[in-house]
Amino acid sequence: MKVWNNILTQRTGLVALELDTVAGRVALVGGRGGDASGPSNLPGCDLEAAGSAACREALVEWVRASGAAGLRCRIALGASFFRCDSTTLPNMSDEELASSARFEAIDRFGLDESQSVIQHIAMGSSAGRRHVALLAARSDQVRRAAEITLEAGLLPESIEHSALTAARGALRWESAMAGEFVSALHIESSVATLSVWRAGSLVAVRTMAGDWNVSSNGKLQAQEPEALDAIPLEPVAAPCSWRWSALAEETLRALRQSCGESSWPSCLAISGGAAAEPELIRAVGGVCGVPTVAVECGQWKLSGLRCTGPSWASLAGSVVVDSAATQERRAA
């Protein structure tokens, strides 16, 4: 009966799901869920057949307990599942740009076209050339993420890059991000993604590999970056304050490369589990010379979403699209 009720009220209820290799999260937004429908942590999921069983079972149990079967689901995949890079292409039509970006991504990432899902983001143009962000994911992993939600009784609506969803939420709700030229840093267990935004449009994106898992004991561990385009950072066995200095310096280099010397972002919003570390905020803000804030999604005006802290930013940001659509419908 709950499934039929959810079908009838699926415009009001929505499930936000975040999948990552270390930890996942799920929450019910809107709808009429009970106490059992609160946000919940899920086991890590590598989106392989063998490594996703625990996450799938936990998600099935949560859906059954919260009565969310039949609801739409927006999925935010961790940055470690994506290949990300930026390039410049000649000015051309949107159709030609899509084809060229796809060809460039296959060539640059060395992907098999039949086994990849490739997207691109046009980031503006200069000197007769267009800057394009290339994003690619393994199709089997994307399909596996969709299958996990389908097996749990949910209906996947979208699968997005977690850094982009976190930036969407921060740009929409964080008052410090109201400036014309801002940046966002989304930190996950092994990849940090820096995005620079001008008037709501993406102008630069950069990924930085490392061990940014805050659940560790403060000691950095050597880790081989999976992404070929990621910049490997030397692991340093040092206290936390030193731990974040490598990320801060790399963030500074990425900002200089993306923004040049003429303009500098007015704010840097940090999301992800590591954003709760005060040393990280101080280190990045001090090194980059930009006001730095930790995203607090608990203050976002999302109906029924009961989660707080920067670690839930990508999950909450994935449903901002529906929140904006709802507000537009109400305004109309």
Partner 1 sequence: MSVPEINFLPTAVVREVRTRRSRRRTSLLGLLLLALSLGVGAHSWNSARKAEAARTVTTQLASRADTPALQEVIDRLASDQSELERALRVTDGLVPAISTASVVATVTHMLPEETMLSGFRIETEDSPRQLQVLLKGCAASGKALGEFERRLAACPAFTGVTMSERKATESMGTRVEAFTVSFQVPLDVQVRAPGVMRMAMGGVQ
Contacting positions for partner 1 (CB under 8 A): 3-4, 7-8, 70, 75, 77, 117, 119, 121, 135, 137, 139, 142-143, 146, 150, 155-161, 164-165, 167-168, 171-172, 197, 199-200, 202, 320-321, 324
- Nearer to partner 1 (CB atom), residue 136 or residue 248: 136
Least Å from the CB of residue 117 to partner 1? 5
Distance CA 254, CA 267 (A): 15
Contact 151, 73 (CB under 8 A): no
- Nearer to partner 1 (CB atom), residue 88 or residue 158: 158
Least Å from the CB of residue 74 to partner 1? 9
- Nearer to partner 1 (CB atom), residue 135 or residue 270: 135
At residue 240, φ and ψ (nearest 5 deg) are -60, -45
| Beta bridge partner(s), residue 3 | none
Least Å from the CB of residue 299 to partner 1? 18
- Nearer to partner 1 (CB atom), residue 3 or residue 236: 3
Least Å from the CB of residue 155 to partner 1? 5
Least Å from the CB of residue 288 to partner 1? 22
Least Å from the CB of residue 124 to partner 1? 13
- Nearer to partner 1 (CB atom), residue 70 or residue 210: 70
- Nearer to partner 1 (CB atom), residue 165 or residue 183: 165
